[in-house]
Amino acid sequence: MPKNAEPTRKPLLTYALIAVCLIVFLWEAYGSMAYGKDWTKEMFSTYGFSSDGLLKGEWWTPLTSLFVHATPDHLILNMIALFFFGRALEEHLDRKKCLLVFFASGLAGEGAVMVATALGVMPAAIPTIGASAAIFGLMAAAVLVKPFELVAYPYIIPLPLIVVAVVYSLYNVLAFLTVVATGAATTVAYASHFGGLAAGVFLGLRFEGAKRGLMVLALVVAILIAIPLIWNLVQSLQALNYTAIFSGPK
């Protein structure tokens, strides 16, 4: 290692959070096999977050719900995202700040769920589970502190974190708008993701400084503007190509 190079901090907090989620899921799997699906539903109801539950005095659910996952694919996708985004942030910030981002984003996500419930977008009684909101917060904060960190999630080819975050966030916005517009049923709490993003941006700006953070946000906006322009250009080129093919010599 070069003399002036700083040693990479091991993301022990990220590993610990992943371990807790894995242990909880193993407990879920054991309970489901030993006691049946009714036990699992009761477990989700007891430890998952809902507006009704919180109003009934279930004060622990905003924290416990972050570590409960519904299915293996729900767990695996969240843990892969947590690994990449958590590690990127933890290599730059101290662990106390990373832990603050995780829990603050999770709580902000549940606050967004309560707002969505009050607006009639989400049901009040169905529990919300999973670390998605906290992970969105980690992603948002990581973008502000290490925008060009290469990550291989959710694609196999490594891409800059800022590009992944923009695409991932844009997908969630479009999916949420589709659900609201069509009234389609969904098991994804998109509202919680937006709450997590907002908390991650806020804390990222606090930790990294407003000047740098606003520059990164300006770059995010530029990418968002560029995406539809590039898409329209590609569509136009394809249309011209098809026209040339079908109008050529016969």
135 burial type by CB count under 10 A (0-12 exposed, 13-18 middle, 19+ buried): buried
Q: Place 2 in a pLDDT band, splitting at 50, 70 and 90.
A: very low
Contact indicator for 13, 95 with CB cutoff of 8 Å: yes
> Quick check: 241 pLDDT over 60?
no
- Tokens linked to 162: 């800022």
In CATH terms, 12-211 corresponds, of 1.20.1540.10, 1.10.730.10, 3.30.450.20, 3.30.930.10, to 1.20.1540.10
Q: Place 227 in a pLDDT band, splitting at 50, 70 and 90.
A: low
The predicted structure's pLDDT at residue 237: 58
H or E element in which residue 151 lies: strand 150-151
The mean pLDDT of 8-23, rounded to a whole number, is 92
For 150, other C-beta atoms within 10 Å of its C-beta total 14
The predicted structure's pLDDT at residue 250: 46
The mean pLDDT of 98-117, rounded to a whole number, is 96
Contact indicator for 161, 169 with CB cutoff of 8 Å: no
Contact indicator for 129, 65 with CB cutoff of 8 Å: yes
Residues contacting 132, CB < 8 A, separation 6+: 78, 109, 189, 192, 193, 196
* Amino acid, single-letter form, for residue 21: C
Q: What is the pTM of this model?
A: 0.84
Q: Looking at the chain, how many residues does it have?
A: 250
Cα 67–chain centre separation: 14
